Amino acid sequence: MRTRLALVGVAALAAALALLFGGAFEHEAAARGGDVLPPAIAEQLQRGFAAGATAALVAGLQGELRVQPSAKAYGTLGLAYEQRARETGDATFYGRAERALRRALALHPNDLNALAGLGQLALARHQFRHALTLGRAARRVSPTTAGVYGIVGDAQLELGRYRQAFTAFDRMATLKPSVASYARVSYARELLGDVRGAEQAMALAVSAAAGQREAAAWTRTQLGLLLLSSGRPAAAEREAQRALLVFPGYHLALDALAQAEAAQGRLATALRHERAAVARIPLPQYVGFLGDLERATGHPARARGQYELIRVIERLLAANGVRNDLDIALFDVDHGIRLRHALELARRGYRERPSIVGDDVLGWALARNGRCGEALPYARRALRLGTRDAVKEFHRGYVEACLGHRAAARTWYRRALALNPHFSILWAPVARKGALR
């Protein structure tokens, strides 16, 4: 199926988990700095999030602030706005969140909730250097709060500082084993090529999420995506269905279910579920996959309509501070759109995100522009951690084939297909042909 690189990205999803399930609320009494949320308010906030009642919570906080402004209320409102962005896909909530959180800091410069909230907001906007600065500031305020290490580690991960990121995640898990910390451990193991270990850690996250509707659905979905990425679509489908039992209509699970069904050749049902995901929240990765499904089922005009919609969504995201260059470049390169411009975007995105994701997208963009000699070092670097990722392995094979290295190309194509024979509607057929040459 499609690469796991998407609008939010794994790091930003993990950041959202930290917000919901402990990040900004994990305060040790001896290390409290500034106004912190009393336990009763923290519980109310999380109950409101879990119940999908954030809009009512926002209204209540706005009323409270009209009567008596406080850093605590502004910080809580900022976190609630971030959740509204997640619930609706409406990026205008990012600006509202930032204004509320900055007002909290103006009232109390060391407010931990505001610093953590701004750090998570920067992650969601793919402003990783700024997120690292904010995460470190939050860590100075409360070095025994587990969630701040999640923000720091997420930012370091996207900046390619893997050793420091893994150290931060280890510290987070030591301070407080939780959904958020287990999810990060899972992703770290996945990056290092330990697929089974990643699944085991995500299974722990599933257990830790018991009784929390969105957390339970999110972890089930992520476990399913792990299974899908290692070529087990039937098992992935079961996890997505379990997520939907816990949280009917959950857009992430609908998208994962569509991917698993497409991998098993059931394109009609995949179309139906991807349309449902897009109807709930039109994230660019959902819309792009829907377009690919429309094209694969013989509806090129519908596919073009979905691809055009992505441009509208991307402009809205950019207007609300989201740096999306690598994601746009990847979509354009995959679909042969404006390849020279896509390469410029990939270069710009790489400067902001010099990680294995950046290596992969930039190398792919260079290769698709016929600059395969320049692409090869990036294709190698994209796999330097030992990551087992069929998309990255396919890209390496494509570069080798472009350079005339047929034996090496066959090896990489076969590796990609052995790991996940249905890694992409668009490119798995190319890998199958190349593996036979």
Task: Break the chain into its structural domains and give their ranges.
Answer: 1-190, 329-436
Q: Residues 98, 90: contact at Cβ < 8 Å? A: no
Confidence of residue 377 (pLDDT cuts 50, 70, 90): very high
Identical fold between 1-190 and 329-436: yes
Q: Residues 154, 355: contact at Cβ < 8 Å? A: no
Handedness of CA 10, 15, 19, 21 (dihedral sign): positive
Domain spanning 329-436: CATH superfamily:
Tetratricopeptide repeat domain (1.25.40.10)
Residue 45 predicted with pLDDT over 50: no
Q: Residues 173, 184: contact at Cβ < 8 Å? A: yes
CATH architecture of 1-190: Alpha Horseshoe (1.25)
Residue 207 predicted with pLDDT over 70: yes
- Two tokens, residue 437: 């040459």
What is the average pLDDT across 199-218? 94
177: alpha, beta or left, given left = phi > 0 and alpha = psi -120 to 50?
beta
Q: What is the DSSP letter of 247?
A: S
Confidence of residue 9 (pLDDT cuts 50, 70, 90): very low
Residue 6 predicted with pLDDT over 70: no
- Start-to-end C-alpha separation, the chain: 23
Residues in the chain: 437
What is the average pLDDT across 246-264? 97
Alpha carbons 128 and 126: distance in angstroms, whole number: 5
Least Cα distance to 409 among 423, 426, 394 occurs for: 394
Other Cβ atoms closer than 10 A to 35: 21
The pTM is what?
A: 0.87
Least Cα distance to 432 among 414, 419, 415, 420 occurs for: 414
Q: H-helix or E-strand containing 246?
A: helix 233-246
Confidence of residue 88 (pLDDT cuts 50, 70, 90): confident
Q: What is the DSSP letter of 61?
A: H
Residue 18 predicted with pLDDT over 50: no
Q: Average the pLDDT over each of 47-56, 76-85, 147-156, 409-418 and give the range with the smallest value.
A: 47-56
- Angle at Cα 183 formed by Cα 120 and Cα 94, nearest 5°? 20
- At residue 52, the pLDDT reads 55
Q: Residues 126, 324: contact at Cβ < 8 Å? A: yes
Residue 14 predicted with pLDDT over 70: no
When the pLDDT of each residue in the chain is averaged and rounded to a whole number, the result is: 88
Handedness of CA 191, 204, 41, 145 (dihedral sign): negative
Alpha carbons 363 and 381: distance in angstroms, whole number: 9
What is the average pLDDT across 84-108? 93
What is the average pLDDT across 269-285? 95
